Amino acid sequence: MSDKADIDTELVRRVQRGDKGAFDLLVRKYQQRVAKLISRFISDAAEVEDVTQEAFIKAYRALPNFRGDSAFYTWLYRIATNAAKNHLVTMRRRPPRSDVDITSGATEQGYELEGDESPEGEMMSEEIRRTIQKTLDEMPEELRLALTMCEFDGLTYEEIAEVMECPIGTVRSRIFRARHLLDGKLRPLISDHEVEDVV
Protein backbone atom coordinates (compact mmCIF):
# COMPACT_ATOMS: atom_id res chain seq x y z
CA MET A 1 0.00 0.00 0.00
CA SER A 2 1.34 3.43 -0.91
CA ASP A 3 1.95 6.24 1.59
CA LYS A 4 -0.99 8.14 0.05
CA ALA A 5 -3.30 5.15 0.57
CA ASP A 6 -1.98 4.71 4.15
CA ILE A 7 -2.76 8.35 4.98
CA ASP A 8 -6.23 8.10 3.39
CA THR A 9 -6.97 4.87 5.27
CA GLU A 10 -6.00 6.47 8.57
CA LEU A 11 -8.13 9.55 7.85
CA VAL A 12 -11.10 7.34 6.89
CA ARG A 13 -10.73 5.39 10.14
CA ARG A 14 -10.69 8.64 12.08
CA VAL A 15 -13.87 9.79 10.30
CA GLN A 16 -15.50 6.46 11.09
CA ARG A 17 -14.63 7.03 14.75
CA GLY A 18 -16.41 10.40 14.65
CA ASP A 19 -13.56 12.80 13.79
CA LYS A 20 -15.14 15.34 11.42
CA GLY A 21 -11.86 17.22 11.13
CA ALA A 22 -10.34 14.19 9.39
CA PHE A 23 -13.02 14.39 6.70
CA ASP A 24 -12.21 18.08 6.18
CA LEU A 25 -8.63 17.01 5.43
CA LEU A 26 -9.89 14.51 2.82
CA VAL A 27 -12.08 17.20 1.26
CA ARG A 28 -9.16 19.63 1.03
CA LYS A 29 -6.97 16.92 -0.46
CA TYR A 30 -9.38 15.82 -3.20
CA GLN A 31 -11.70 18.79 -3.79
CA GLN A 32 -9.92 20.09 -6.89
CA ARG A 33 -9.55 16.65 -8.46
CA VAL A 34 -13.22 15.85 -7.89
CA ALA A 35 -14.30 19.24 -9.29
CA LYS A 36 -12.12 18.66 -12.35
CA LEU A 37 -13.71 15.24 -12.89
CA ILE A 38 -17.22 16.66 -12.55
CA SER A 39 -16.38 19.53 -14.95
CA ARG A 40 -15.97 16.90 -17.68
CA PHE A 41 -19.71 16.31 -17.43
CA ILE A 42 -20.96 19.78 -16.49
CA SER A 43 -19.77 23.06 -17.98
CA ASP A 44 -21.43 25.57 -15.63
CA ALA A 45 -18.97 26.48 -12.83
CA ALA A 46 -21.70 27.04 -10.20
CA GLU A 47 -23.23 23.64 -10.98
CA VAL A 48 -19.80 21.98 -10.81
CA GLU A 49 -19.35 23.49 -7.34
CA ASP A 50 -22.80 22.29 -6.23
CA VAL A 51 -22.30 18.75 -7.55
CA THR A 52 -18.79 18.59 -6.03
CA GLN A 53 -20.26 19.52 -2.66
CA GLU A 54 -23.05 16.98 -3.15
CA ALA A 55 -20.49 14.26 -3.97
CA PHE A 56 -18.60 14.94 -0.73
CA ILE A 57 -21.83 14.94 1.28
CA LYS A 58 -22.74 11.55 -0.22
CA ALA A 59 -19.23 10.28 0.51
CA TYR A 60 -19.45 11.45 4.13
CA ARG A 61 -22.78 9.70 4.61
CA ALA A 62 -21.48 6.52 3.00
CA LEU A 63 -18.13 6.43 4.85
CA PRO A 64 -19.41 4.37 7.80
CA ASN A 65 -19.93 1.53 5.30
CA PHE A 66 -16.59 2.00 3.50
CA ARG A 67 -14.64 -1.23 4.00
CA GLY A 68 -11.44 -0.28 2.20
CA ASP A 69 -11.82 -2.87 -0.58
CA SER A 70 -10.64 -0.15 -2.97
CA ALA A 71 -8.55 2.98 -2.51
CA PHE A 72 -10.49 5.86 -0.94
CA TYR A 73 -10.01 8.18 -3.93
CA THR A 74 -11.16 5.49 -6.38
CA TRP A 75 -14.30 5.05 -4.28
CA LEU A 76 -14.71 8.84 -4.16
CA TYR A 77 -14.29 9.12 -7.95
CA ARG A 78 -17.11 6.62 -8.42
CA ILE A 79 -19.39 8.64 -6.14
CA ALA A 80 -18.47 11.87 -7.98
CA THR A 81 -19.04 10.29 -11.40
CA ASN A 82 -22.48 9.03 -10.34
CA ALA A 83 -23.36 12.41 -8.80
CA ALA A 84 -22.48 14.16 -12.07
CA LYS A 85 -24.49 11.67 -14.15
CA ASN A 86 -27.48 11.95 -11.81
CA HIS A 87 -27.32 15.73 -12.07
CA LEU A 88 -27.36 15.52 -15.87
CA VAL A 89 -30.34 13.16 -15.81
CA THR A 90 -32.14 15.59 -13.51
CA MET A 91 -31.31 18.48 -15.84
CA ARG A 92 -32.03 16.27 -18.91
CA ARG A 93 -28.75 17.24 -20.51
CA ARG A 94 -25.94 15.44 -22.25
CA PRO A 95 -22.35 16.12 -21.11
CA PRO A 96 -21.39 19.17 -23.21
CA ARG A 97 -17.60 19.19 -22.93
CA SER A 98 -14.66 17.20 -21.73
CA ASP A 99 -12.86 20.33 -20.44
CA VAL A 100 -9.51 18.56 -20.48
CA ASP A 101 -6.48 20.79 -20.15
CA ILE A 102 -4.63 20.23 -23.42
CA THR A 103 -2.61 23.44 -23.44
CA SER A 104 0.76 21.80 -22.93
CA GLY A 105 2.68 18.56 -23.11
CA ALA A 106 2.14 15.72 -25.51
CA THR A 107 -0.86 13.61 -26.30
CA GLU A 108 -0.93 9.96 -25.41
CA GLN A 109 0.27 9.15 -28.95
CA GLY A 110 3.36 11.23 -28.29
CA TYR A 111 2.52 14.12 -30.62
CA GLU A 112 4.37 17.07 -29.14
CA LEU A 113 2.20 20.15 -28.71
CA GLU A 114 4.97 22.54 -27.69
CA GLY A 115 8.43 23.40 -28.82
CA ASP A 116 8.06 25.02 -32.24
CA GLU A 117 7.62 28.72 -31.53
CA SER A 118 7.48 29.84 -35.17
CA PRO A 119 4.12 31.26 -36.34
CA GLU A 120 3.57 28.10 -38.39
CA GLY A 121 4.47 25.92 -35.41
CA GLU A 122 2.10 27.81 -33.11
CA MET A 123 -0.71 27.53 -35.66
CA MET A 124 -0.03 23.79 -35.94
CA SER A 125 -0.08 23.35 -32.16
CA GLU A 126 -3.34 25.27 -31.92
CA GLU A 127 -4.87 23.15 -34.68
CA ILE A 128 -3.82 19.97 -32.86
CA ARG A 129 -5.31 21.27 -29.59
CA ARG A 130 -8.60 22.13 -31.31
CA THR A 131 -8.69 18.73 -33.00
CA ILE A 132 -8.05 16.89 -29.72
CA GLN A 133 -10.73 18.91 -27.92
CA LYS A 134 -13.29 18.43 -30.72
CA THR A 135 -12.57 14.69 -30.89
CA LEU A 136 -12.90 14.33 -27.12
CA ASP A 137 -16.15 16.31 -27.14
CA GLU A 138 -17.61 14.05 -29.83
CA MET A 139 -16.50 10.77 -28.25
CA PRO A 140 -19.03 8.55 -26.51
CA GLU A 141 -18.99 9.41 -22.82
CA GLU A 142 -17.58 6.06 -21.67
CA LEU A 143 -14.60 6.34 -24.05
CA ARG A 144 -13.82 9.95 -23.11
CA LEU A 145 -14.07 9.28 -19.39
CA ALA A 146 -11.85 6.18 -19.52
CA LEU A 147 -9.22 7.96 -21.60
CA THR A 148 -9.11 11.14 -19.53
CA MET A 149 -8.96 9.25 -16.21
CA CYS A 150 -6.02 7.26 -17.59
CA GLU A 151 -4.10 10.01 -19.39
CA PHE A 152 -4.91 13.12 -17.37
CA ASP A 153 -5.69 11.81 -13.87
CA GLY A 154 -3.15 8.99 -13.88
CA LEU A 155 -5.55 6.31 -12.65
CA THR A 156 -4.59 2.68 -13.31
CA TYR A 157 -6.82 0.41 -15.40
CA GLU A 158 -7.88 -1.33 -12.19
CA GLU A 159 -8.90 1.97 -10.59
CA ILE A 160 -10.77 3.07 -13.72
CA ALA A 161 -12.59 -0.28 -13.75
CA GLU A 162 -13.71 0.37 -10.17
CA VAL A 163 -14.87 3.91 -10.95
CA MET A 164 -16.72 2.85 -14.11
CA GLU A 165 -17.94 -0.39 -12.52
CA CYS A 166 -16.87 -2.56 -15.45
CA PRO A 167 -14.25 -5.26 -16.13
CA ILE A 168 -10.62 -4.25 -16.75
CA GLY A 169 -10.90 -5.70 -20.26
CA THR A 170 -13.69 -3.22 -21.00
CA VAL A 171 -11.51 -0.37 -19.73
CA ARG A 172 -8.64 -1.49 -22.01
CA SER A 173 -11.02 -1.69 -24.95
CA ARG A 174 -12.49 1.77 -24.28
CA ILE A 175 -9.06 3.38 -23.94
CA PHE A 176 -7.84 1.62 -27.09
CA ARG A 177 -10.91 2.81 -29.06
CA ALA A 178 -10.55 6.36 -27.71
CA ARG A 179 -6.86 6.49 -28.66
CA HIS A 180 -7.69 5.07 -32.09
CA LEU A 181 -10.26 7.83 -32.65
CA LEU A 182 -7.77 10.50 -31.61
CA ASP A 183 -5.02 8.96 -33.69
CA GLY A 184 -7.27 8.91 -36.75
CA LYS A 185 -7.94 12.64 -36.41
CA LEU A 186 -4.38 13.67 -35.53
CA ARG A 187 -2.33 11.53 -37.91
CA PRO A 188 -3.36 13.47 -41.07
CA LEU A 189 -2.42 16.76 -39.36
CA ILE A 190 0.97 15.44 -38.27
CA SER A 191 1.65 13.85 -41.68
CA ASP A 192 0.73 17.06 -43.55
CA HIS A 193 2.97 19.08 -41.22
CA GLU A 194 5.91 16.70 -41.75
CA VAL A 195 5.48 16.89 -45.54
CA GLU A 196 5.45 20.70 -45.40
CA ASP A 197 8.66 20.65 -43.34
CA VAL A 198 10.38 18.48 -45.93
CA VAL A 199 9.28 20.58 -48.95
Which CATH architecture is the domain 119-198 placed in?
Orthogonal Bundle (1.10)
As annotated, the residues of the chain forming the CATH 1.10.1740.10 domain(s) are 3-91
Q: 195: which residues sit within 8 A by CB, 6+ positions away?
A: none
Which CATH architecture is the domain 3-91 placed in?
Orthogonal Bundle (1.10)
As annotated, the residues of the chain forming the CATH 1.10.10.10 domain(s) are 119-198
The model's pLDDT over 123-156, given as tens digits with 9 standing for 90+, comes to 667 777 788 878 888 888 888 888 888 887 788 8
118: left (phi over 0), alpha (psi -120 to 50) or beta: beta
C-beta separation of 98 from 40 below 8 A: yes
Q: What is the mean pLDDT of residues 29-52?
A: 90
**Has residue 98 got a pLDDT over 90?**
no
The model's pLDDT over 152-168, given as tens digits with 9 standing for 90+, comes to 778 889 888 988 889 99
The model's pLDDT over 42-87, given as tens digits with 9 standing for 90+, comes to 888 899 999 999 999 999 999 998 888 888 988 999 899 889 888 8
Phi, psi of 40 (to 5 degrees): -75, -20
pLDDT (0 to 100) of residue 198:
38
Q: What is the mean pLDDT of residues 102-108?
A: 39
The model's pLDDT over 7-18, given as tens digits with 9 standing for 90+, comes to 888 999 999 999
> pTM score, two decimals?
0.63
